[in-house]
Each structure stands twice: as structure tokens, then as C-alpha cells.
Structure 1
Amino acid sequence: MGPTPRIPVCLLLLFFVQILAIAAETDNQDFVALRALKDMWQNSTPPTWVGSDPCGNGWDGIMCTKSRVTAITLPSMGLTGQLSGDIEGLSELQSLDLSYNKGLTGSLPSQIGSLTNLSNLILVGCSFSGLIPDMFGSLKQLTYLSLNSNRFIGKIPPSIGNLSNLYWLDLAENQLTGTIPVSNKVAPGLDMLVHARHFHFGKNQLSGTIPSQLFSSNMSLIHVLFESNRLNGSIPSTLGLVQSLEVVRLDRNFLSGPVPSNLNNLTNVSQLFLSNNKLTGPVPNLTGMNLLHSVDMSNNSFDTSDVPQWFLTSQSLTTLIMEKTQLQGKVPEALFSLPNLQTVVLRNNQLNGTLDIGTSRSNYLQLIDLQANFIDDYRETESLNIELILVGNPVCEETNVPEKYCKVSQTNLIYSTDQNNCMPVLCSSGQISSPNCKCACPYSGTLVFRAPSFSDLKNSSRYISLEHSLMLSFQTDHLPVDSVSLSNLRMDSVNYLELRLEVFPYGQNYFNRSGILNIGFVMSNQTFKPPKYFGPFYFLGDKYGNFAEGSMTSNKSLNIGIIIGAAAGGSVLVLLLLLAVVYAFFQKRRAERATTENNPFASWDSNKGSGSIPQLKGARCFSFEVLNKCTDKFSEASELGSGGYGKVYKGTLSTGELVAIKRAQQGSTQGGLEFKTEIELLSRVHHKNVVSLLGFCFDQGEQMLVYEYVPNGTLKDSLSGKSGIRMDWTRRLKVSLGTARGLSYLHELANPPIIHRDIKSNNILLDERLNAKVADFGLSKPMGDSEKGHVTTQVKGTMGYMDPEYYMTQQLTEKSDVYSFGVLMLELVTGRRPLERGKYIVREVRTAMDKTKDLYNLHEILDPAIGLGTTLKGLERYVDLAMRCVEEAGADRPTMGEVVKQIENIMQLAGLNPNAESASTSASYEGESKGNFRHPYGSEASDTSGHFSSSKTEPY
């Protein structure tokens, strides 16, 4: 036989490529772009990045919609190299997260500006350098831009001001220089970012003044962090117009001149840092800033003055630091009786006279530092268990002052997570014992809090609360986490609180790549929300190099087959061709099966009232057989409730997890639309005060939604006494706060924002600790980009709770939910349904109110179960807030974010911790009526509230 002809071999190879292209699920342009990224990160990409089908072959960190790549999420993967400009080929990319890869270097390619669908660009803790590309201003869909903890230089691009949807802007801890850009006739600026909530620019080298134009009353900012830069000039008075602000850090700059007198307009600010500047004039008057927790104005050149009166009236104050601020006179005894005070640092001033701490001091007081003043006497009525430092005062020359007060001791900040009632075990090399005493290799990193509102760093309960919040976040996102551990507590030079975090895997000794990617994304994307008193944070994850790898599909055998076939000569061509045909046939069949299995909506029929195919984000698909089994064939014993949509069943999955399954009636067209709406919306939202959607079933003609099981039923049942749970004033405040937080999340943090449209007591569920969860999203409406301010839509909702402005104009806004929540608040204090025997609760309360009398003269209509005869602290302010929520004009109502703040303030004034768990168990709230207990998901046949355009009555 002669030499093998070359042309047939080439044709065969071409034929193979065509067959693979037919079988592949990934768009060819996207594959080429990903291959370019892989080449730039040679030897450091995940081992699953093989083959020509990233969407079909399960490349780690690659998420696709149909054939297009929509997300790349690769935190803590140890990537090295640069970011290729070929990324512009991923034209449908919506999210890019390469955080915690210190090996990623070089400049960012300007081609990123071509990714017009990009909404998340998160590159935290890498080593990128060079200029931030001006082309970023073309990313009109961008909501998250996190470039902190890199090595970027140069100016902040003014074009960022074009990003009208931007919510989060974090450029901190780089080497940025130049001034803060604001708009003019020819260029945009950051003042145009009226929807942004976060300006994080700390630890750079920014210079020039803070432009007065930067701030306005139209802005939505809650964090302004400019600490540790080179900013000069005065603090602009326009800062006082941004009344949504909660944290302000302008410390460690070169700011001068007096502090604006309108700064006390910022009544929502809890942390204010102005220290280490050149500020002059009088000590600022912060009267009215009732939510202030931490104040630091140290090392400025204020006018000499006595201790300001606002020191003594700041009931929320935990930390007061006024070192070297020209204070004089006697330290008032009343200062130390502020109820939440933890730390007072007034060293290097001109304070004098006798120091009297008194006996009614705060229970939380830990440190009083009065070094280098002129205090000449000290009155002690009882032994102090706090740290008092009087070094450098004349009183320390007296012999009657205890020696311990006249020396400075070193404070060791030690905290380490305790074992969970077990004994640590000895582990092999590379593994350590977890809090649950299991050997494992944890995922680790550093948690950094930029403005904690507490200063008692030795209080371990705070860190235990942080651990619980972390575990709750991981569990909510169904991540394989067994436990977390915190250690290595330290406060750095700019008062950032740092903690070492270790996250331990569940069920095995190591995480797989999927686990690390998901945990890293929860931290980099700010999905995790720490307890509020920890303030703004970021996480710097370490490289994880101990993966538990499962079996991986490899295409190497295919490549080898091609090589052998090409070398074998023409005698094998026919055989290879036959194999190729068989291969293509089975690949096509496999792809069709995968499509059917992975797309439960392949048979979704828009002609039957179900609408277009839902766009899902993470909801699990259950087969009918699985749900039929876990409900004992949908037996009557499993039934929890029923309504116009269908029935709700209790089920137990094979894992032992309890679920609530909402099963639509056969042929329910309205149910089909609601089914789609709830899947689309709830698959996007994750919050402890919003009921979690675990999955769905669209199989064998069934439409079912699978939720977490919420054991204590609806708020309506608890208020009516049907559930047997006693709802006193404290519980009602906490339920109000939980509901408000859930709604605030939907309005302000969900993407896109969501209007619930049916807030009522029957749609608020209570878990085992009586925490509130917002449920039933069948009537909810997302706010699209083109729908600015309102959505014109058919009126739906429940009469009595419905916003009259929405009813009259058909224009739905977030303020419509605020109105419904206001009605719910009145229902909570009166125990009455909104419409009862022709009487409307809003009108009844408004008519009965008399603000000159005790409890606003509402004794006759208050619910007796609320605790009449006891002190109902904060009830008047609660009613005031409810009446603001039910103002006729939506513009006169507060936002849900403002409502959350006000309820938190009411709880604090009532002596309650708004962040505390509701109860150890619901059993502690069961009343005497336990014998009459009805299951919380029972039939609502007696409901006469008048549901408008919807007959659903079950809580889910």
C-alpha cells in the first residue's frame, strides 16, 4: 500500500470539528474567548477547563444561559497571569468575579468596556495595576464595581459617572491619585451617581478638595468612606443634605476649616470619623443625631471649649474619642451614665477639677482614658471593674489614688472560636480540628470591618453573633459548610477591625472547587450581611489548594484517537468515519437528554397561560415522583392548607429536611402565571426575612413550588389567637422589624428591585424563633430598567391593605408596599383586620388619635393581648411611623429602608436589641389556649378580608 493521502485526513479532521460543533452547547465565539483566557492563565486554570464545550462539560466557574456564557466566578483559584482583551468576545457576560487571586497582574484591558451586559465586576484582592480604563463608563448595566485591594494608579475615571445603575463603588486600598471627579458641561462625574449607596475610596492618595457638587439631597448614599487620603480644604456643607448616610469616614486627611453646622441633619449616621485632620472652629454640635454609636474627632484644632452638651444626650453612643481637641473644664458625671457607653478617650486635653464617675454608670463601660489632662482629684465611691487611665494628671501625684489608675497596661485582643461541646482531635498534616472536632482543610481568609460601631473588643458575644451570621448566610445559600472559626483579632492603624476566618467543609475533609467558588462569591459579592454593628466590610480570601476532586470528563482520549487515526493510514479511514458518525449520533442523543433533564420547561406552553419560559437562578428541579413520595402521595395527613391556587402540603425530603409544597390545581391558568412569577423572583432573592424557595416541579402536568418549612404559620393566625402563640409588644416590634427588613431588601438590594404587591398578615410567616419571613410572591412585580419610579399595571392586591394611590392611578411603586406595611403595623397594635364590619383600620386609628393623651388615647382599640397595663415603650412613635406609611400621597411616605431605621430606633429606646434572636423556641410564647391550637397552615375559609384579583389564601 502506498503513502496515505493527506487530503482525506484533513477532511476527516474537519468533519470531526464540525460534528463537535454540532454536539457542543457553547457558542463558538464564547469558547474562543474562554480559550484565550485559559492561555493567559496557563497552568493555573481549573483542571475541568478541557474540551470545547464549557457550558455542556461543566467548566468550573462558568455559568451559561442557553449557549452563552453569562458569568465567570473564580475567586481563590490561584490564578496567575493577566486578563486577556479577548474577553470582549463574551458579549452576554453579566458577572465577572476573579477576586482573591493575587497572581493576577497587569492592567485591565479596555475591551471590558465592550461588555455592555455586565452588571457585576468584582476583582477584590488581586494584583491588577495601571489605570482604571475610562471605557468602564460604557458599562451602563453595572451595579457592582469592586476593585479594592489592588495596585491601581492614576485618577478615578470621570466616565464612571455615566453608570446610572451603580449601587456599589469600591476603589479603596489602591494607589489612586488626583481629585474626585464631578460633572461639568463636557464630562460626567461621581455626583451623577444618585442611586449609588456606597462610596468606598479609603486608603488611596486622592488629593484636592471634596467638591461641594459631589453631594446633593437626591443621593442615596449610606457609606462615604474617604479615610487615609490626602484630601484638603473644608468639609462641604452639601454633605449634610444626604440624609440617608449611615457611616461617614473623612479621617486621616488634611481637611481644614470649621465643620459644617448642618452636619447634625444626618440623623441616620451611626459612625462619624473626622479625626487626624486640621479642622478648626467650634467643636461640632451633633445634637439630634440620635443614632450615633461611634464618634472620633481626635487630633484637630477646634476652639477651646467645655464638654459639649450633646455628649450627655447621645443615648446610643458606645464610643467617644476626642483626643487633643482643646476640651477644658470638669468631666461631667452624667457622661458615664449613657446607657450604651463602652469607651471614652479624652486624653491630651485641658480637663481639670475632680473626676467623679458616679454609681449609675453604663453597664457596658470598659475604658476611660484621660491621660495628659489637669485632673487633680478623684472620687471613688466603689471599686471599679473598668480600665481607668489617669497617667499624666496631677491626681497621680497624690498618694490616695490607686496605683493601677496611674499606669498604662497593654491590652491583649484575644478571641478564638470555642469547640462545640467536644474535644479537639489530632489531625494529619495539612488538616486542623474544626469547632465540631472534625479534621478538615478549611478555606481561610481575612475579614476586615471598616467602621465597627463598638469598641469593647473583648466582648466575645459579638464574635459569636458574627459566627452565627456567617453560618446562616452559608446555609441560606445551601453551601457545604460544617462550621466556621474566628481568630487573630486585631485593630489596625486606621481602626479597621481584622479577624481571621476559617470555613470548614461539610461531609468531607476538603472542599471541592464548586464549594470554594460559591463561598468566595458570597463574600466578594457582599451577599453575606454581618450584624449591623460590625459596619461595612470586605473579605480577602486565601488560595485554596487542597481540593477534593471527583471524577472528571476528559476529552484527551478523543484527541489521542484523532492522532492515531491520522497515523494509521487510509485503511482505517472508513472505520474512523463510521466511529465519527456513531459518536455524533450518541452525542446528539446525549445532548437532547441533557437538555430535557436540565430544562424542566422544555414543554412549557405559553398558550396555556403560563407565559414565556422562566429565567431561573439556582432553583432546584424536583421530579413528581420525589414530591409524591415525600408527601405520602399527597395524603390528607400531609395537607397544611388550601386556597384558590391549590393546596399546600408538608413533606420530608430524603435528607430529612422539612419542606412546604404548594401544588397548583389542574388547569389553573392564573396559578401558572403566579407559579412562573414566584420561581423567577424567589430564585433570585436570599434573605433571612424572606421565605426561601428550594425548588419547583414542572413535571407530568404538575406545577409545584417547594419552600422551606416555616413551622409557626402566619402572623394572622398568631394575632387572632388561633396558633396559640402569645404576641406581646416586644414580639410585635420584632416581627415588624423582620418584615420591614425583608421588604427593604426586596426594594433596595434585589436585582431587579421587587414590589411585593400583597403585604398582609396572612403573607408573613413566623419561624421556630418567631422571626418574620415575607411570603407569597404570586402577585409581585419586578422593576425593570426602563420602569423608572413606577410600573403601570392592572390593580391587584388585597382590599384593606391596598395603596389608594395605586388603586386610583394604576401606577405601582415601592411606596405601595410601604402603605400596605403601614396597615400591617396598625393591625399589629390593634389586633383588628384592616376591614372589619365596614370599619377601615386606618380611619379608625386616625379618628381616635389624640397626641396630647397617654398612648395617644388609643386604649379602646389596642389589642388587649399586646400587654395593656404594662409599659408599652415606644408605642406612640410606632403609631406615628405607621401613620406616615399610610399617607395618601406616596411621596409623603418613608422608604422601607427608613422604616427599618425608625423601628430599630424605637426598639433601642424601648431597651431592646434589634439584632437579637426573637426566642430560643416558640414554645416559650405559647399561651393558655394551647388546647385550642390549630395547625398554622389550616384552611382559611373564614377569611373575609376580601382578596382583590386573587383567591390565594395559603401562606406560601
Structure 2
Amino acid sequence: MLLCTMAKQRNLGLATAAILLFGVLFFQAFARTDDLQVQALRDLYRALNSPTELKNWKLEGGDPCEELWTGVSCYQSSVTEIKLQGLNLTGNLGDQLVSLQHLKHLDLSSNHFHGEIPNSLPHNLTDLNLACNNFTQSIPASVSSMKHLRHLNLSQNLLSGPLADVFGASDNLIMMDLSHNKFSGDLPASFRALKNLTKLYLQSNEFTGSVIFLADLHLHDLNIEDNHFSGVIPGSFQNINNLWIGGNRFHSGGADYLPWKFPTDVMPNISSPPTTESSAIEKYPSHETGDNRKKRPGSGGIVIMVVGAVLTLFGASVYITFRIRRSQKQTLDSVRGSISSLQSLPISAPQVTTGPLAAQYDSPDSSSSDSPPLISSWQLPPAPTMTLKMSKRRSFSKKCKIPICAKHYTVAELQLATSNFSPGNLLGEGTLGSVYRADFPDGQILAVKNIKTVALSITEEEQFMDVIRTASRLRHPNIVALIGYCVGHGNHLLVYEYIRNVTLDDALHNVLCMPLTWSLRLRIGIGIARALNYLHTSCVPPITHSNLKAANILLDEDLNPRICDCGLAVLRPLASNSVKIKASEMAIEDSGYVAPEHVKRGSGNPKADIYSFGVLLLELLTGRRPFDSSKPKGEQSLVEWSSSKLHDSESLLDMVDPTIKRTISSRALSSYADIISQCIQPEKEFRPQMAEVVQSLVSVLHKSGPEKAKSGKDKATAEGNEVDPFERSFRSTNSRFFASPTASYYSI
């Protein structure tokens, strides 16, 4: 009777579980995503210019949870996660994200988003990662309403100005990274409310004032390097495990300085230094598994799942019962054997390691030789020797490494995209290696630079990774962006965005190319100048190109200049011998760009870049190469030939490219020549800063005004008979330029 009752109860329980499971699956199978949330995602898709990388996304119709929209994860009928990191997306974030009321995790890092961070962010976010983009302005006020926020990463953007006092309700925040921006002013008082914050990264900004609001926080990691903080370092900072404070203006002595010192060299308490976190979204639990997206089972699938679940539960209960009984028996036998073996061990005192390694650590709890024996008349086997650590805090004298804001590719992915680096995909060869066109399965086209190096040591490999870190941070409309990389097993591959037009060298010197107009040349010069000014003044530390030349400047579909290979000149010493031979051949042609103070390229400074830029301005004006061995000896060097002509009006006009001579006003030409003269000064201290050059060139552009036709071909241009280089259909068909010779593409 009892057995029958137990069997009925067990069957009833299984039936109830099956009904509940069936109900949940039935509800999920027929639930649709909330209309407001669908509309918010459509608005985001529209603001991102409908990129092809976002598969299944639609401007009209569709359901993000049912149709597996790229990067979107759902729970029941609500969008809970959007992860679109590293997809090379552009645009802004729209203004309807606030409708995603159930969104917990938003990761849009390592893209090219621009504009302000919208104030209409979802209020229930727990993880927000917008790192490695081009966002401007400051932190939106909506952060103050995100009471559940735990991880915030806005690093590697163009955010600026003082921080608003928006952190008063952010007491759940655990990690915040605002590093590598242009924030200024004092820290807001609401920082005191961040009682659960354990990791704070503020390095490489322009913060000023005191850090007193951080004194009472329970931080494990704190990086405030390279700011303008001042005053006294709080004594509580000595309890922070990982601390970096260099590059500030703290008091280093005096009566008001607190009586404790930082050691300049201590043993690290972890195997490798922590880095600034490139992703604020850590390994949080997800509602989905596998592809992280919700899938809808059919009715047949639901029946199979229910039956499978019942059988699994029954089998699991039998297996667990068997394992428990077996484990109990094995444990009893093991205990008996252990006691028997322990009784035969000799009595010994606990051992303490004494030697060079142990001497480097404090041992406040170390046992002495006269310690009493343990466990009466027999002794446990000694535990493995352990060393105690001296310091719980990392030495702040060590620099923490910035994150890589680029996608990591495998060798197989790049081999597939480049047809195994076939000659048919070769775009060009330069002083560091070859560049190949890469066509990826999703339709994306990129350029892969295969850098040929000698066998690198560990230090040199780290140097190479530092170059990637620096290059991946560069965000400027006139700089070719580094999209990804592949390092390992002897491979050193850099993946750049693909520029479809030709180099400036081809546009100026290839007879198959239509001549560039004066106003277009001037705009190209301004774009290059702005990119150099960004490298010299906005990057910390400043970056020099050290190999500026027309062949390293690409023209995109809109004929905007894009400087390539920024920050790579330091890799030249690591190049293989075969590449160095090619580089030596190129150096003869490029010698006209090199500043007098530098015998070899690649070890320059900002002033050397300015000299090279002055040569480029000459090249744009005259249409002549910086060094032309076919010319008479006195005219081979463009700088030497033109220097004496820059201040003589008649000689100046004679040296102008004949195709643009009739379209330049005398006032604009004189001002342009003055800029060139300043940039190519033999003594570097007399050359101007790049910011001054930008302002001067913009002034020349205003002086030039609209180009006036004077006769013949110019009159036809004025009447509209010649194609406008900025007309959209003309640009998109690439009819202005013919195919670029491969030797001039990415020539570094």
C-alpha cells in the first residue's frame, strides 16, 4: 500500500513538472518582441546608416528575438543584451534607446561612433561599454538614473570638459573606466557615493585638484596617471593593491605631507600587471547559451523536449543514488587506510623555507623551531612550501598597458580573405612588407599588411604589441584606421580599412589621372595638416609619423586625404633583410622629404614631420616630385630648386603647376609660399607648430575664394562643362582616377 502511494506521488510530481515545462516553452514560442523595443532597434539601425554587418536587422518589419538579429539577445519577449563590439560601425546612437526598458548589457566598443552620447540611455543597464569610439562632449545626465549600473567603460574616446555630478545614485558601480579622454576640472563630490567601486581608471586625462573624494573608497585598482592632480596623497591609498599615480603634481615633501612612503620597487603580488579594462562587460551570466540568441522550437520539438526532460530526471536520480552509496564506501575505506599509514610516520616539527626567495617576503606568522608538536603523538605530512607576500599593493612605478581597440583575427581568417595572400590580391609593397586586399565572407573589404620581421625576442614582441595598442587608438577622419591584427606563430599582420581610390602620389604624377584643381589641392593639404596636428597634440604621448610622403596618403571616394601607417615607423629596425633591401631602394626616391637633421628616417620628431609636410605643400603647388634624378643636377631636389623662388613673385608664379596656374590669386599664392618657407626651414626650432600651419592654410583657403575661369579650358570649367570632382555620382563611379599602380599603395 505504501509503495503504491509513493509511486502515485512520484508520477504526479513528474506530470506537474512536465506541464509547467510545456507551458513555459509554449509561452516563449509564441511571444513576440515588444513593439517599442523593436522600434528602438530600428531607430538605432537607421542612425548607424543601415550597415551590412548587422545581419537580419531591418528598417521595417521583422522581430529581433525571433529572427536572430546580430548581437541581440532576448529573454522571453524583451531585449536584454546588445553586443556590437568591433564591427567597424559608424554613425550615432539615435534617441530611442531609452525604450529598451529590460536591456541589461550594452557593448558598442571598438567602433567609429561619433557625436554625443545620447541622454536617452536605458535606465536599467547594469553594464555599459562605449570604449574605443569617437564620442565627444561629456557623460550624459541619464547616468544619474542608472541605479543598477555595475560596469561603466567610456575610455578611448574624445570626451572632454568637467565631469558632471551624476554619480550620487551609482552606489552599485563596481568598475569605472574614463581613461584616455580629455576630461578636465576637479573630480565631482558624488564620487564619495561610490562605496562599492573597486576598480577606477582615470589615467591620461586633464583632471585637476585634489583626490580627497577617493580617500574613503574601497578600491583594489586605481590608476590616475598622467593628469594634473595636486595636493596631498591620502594615506588610505597605501591600502590599495594596484596603484598608479605618476605624472601628476602631488606634494613630495613638507610639513603637510603625510608620514608614509611608497616603495619604489616591491615584489608584485600577481603574475602580470593588470591592464586598463578594455571591456566593462565581464563574464556576467546570460539568459542564453550557445549563440546567445533566442530560438523558437516547433510543436514537435516541444513534445520531444518534454519527454526528454522526464527521462533525464529519472535517469539522473538513479545515477546520483548509485554514486552516493559508492562514494560513502570509498570514503570509509580511504579514512581507514590513511590512519594506518599516518601512525607509521616519524614525529617532525613544521618546516619553514629560509633562503634568498623567502627573504624577499614578510613572514609575520612563520612558526619557530620550538613550535609544539601537532596532533599529539603523530604529525601530518608537511604541506607544500608556501611563500608569504610582502605587499598587497602593486608598485605604482610600473605602467599599466592600455587596451587594444582592434579586432583580433586568426591566420586562417586572413588567409581565406586574401586567397592565401595570392599575387592577385597584392595591392602594393613597402618598406615593412606587402599589402593585400582582403574580401571577407560578410562582404567587408579590408587591407592586410603582412609585416616581414626578423625573429623577434620577447621584448621586441612586446614592442610590436605596444605599436598595435597605439595605432588602434587613433581616431581621425584623415587617418586610415587600424581595424584588426594577427600576431603569433611568426605572423605579424595588421588589418586596415580599405581605401578604394589612389594615392596622392598617383593623383599628382600619374598621367592617367586627371589634374587636381587648386582648391582641391588646398583642401587635401588642410586635411593632412589636421591629421598631423591630431598626432602631435591630441595623442599622449605625441605620435610622429616619421615617413610622411605623397605615396603614404590615400584619397578616398570623396577625395579626402587619409594618412596611412601612422605610428609604424618604429618597426623599421625589426624588418627582415629582404624588406630592408626594398626599403633602401625606396629611400633614394623619398630622400626629398627627409629633414636635414635626420640622416635616416623613422627616428623623427614632430618638427621633422613639419618639414616633410612643407615638402608635400611644394609638391602640391608645383606638381614635381621631391627628388627627380631625371632633372639637371641643380634641379633634382625640389626644396633646393624652389627655396630661392618662394619670395620672388615672378619666379614663384613660374614654378606653379601649369594646370592650376590660372586659378590661383596672387594674394593666396604669396601666403601659401610663406607657409612652405616656414615649414622647410633648415633649423627645426624655426619651424612652426602644426596647429599654426592649419590656421594659416585655412586662411589661404578663404583668400582663394571660388576659382575664377580666365580662358579656354578654365572658362569651360566655370560654365559647368567639366565634371565637378565633388559631385556624388562622379565620386561613386571612381571615374576620376584609373587603377593605381600597386607599387604606390601603402608604401611604408
Query: Structure 2 length normalisation: TM-score?
Result: 0.45
- Indicate the structure with greater strand content: 1
Q: Which has the higher contact order (CA 8 A, sep 6+)?
A: 2
Q: Which structure shows the bigger proportion of residues in helix conformation?
A: 2
Q: Normalization by structure 1: what TM-score?
A: 0.36
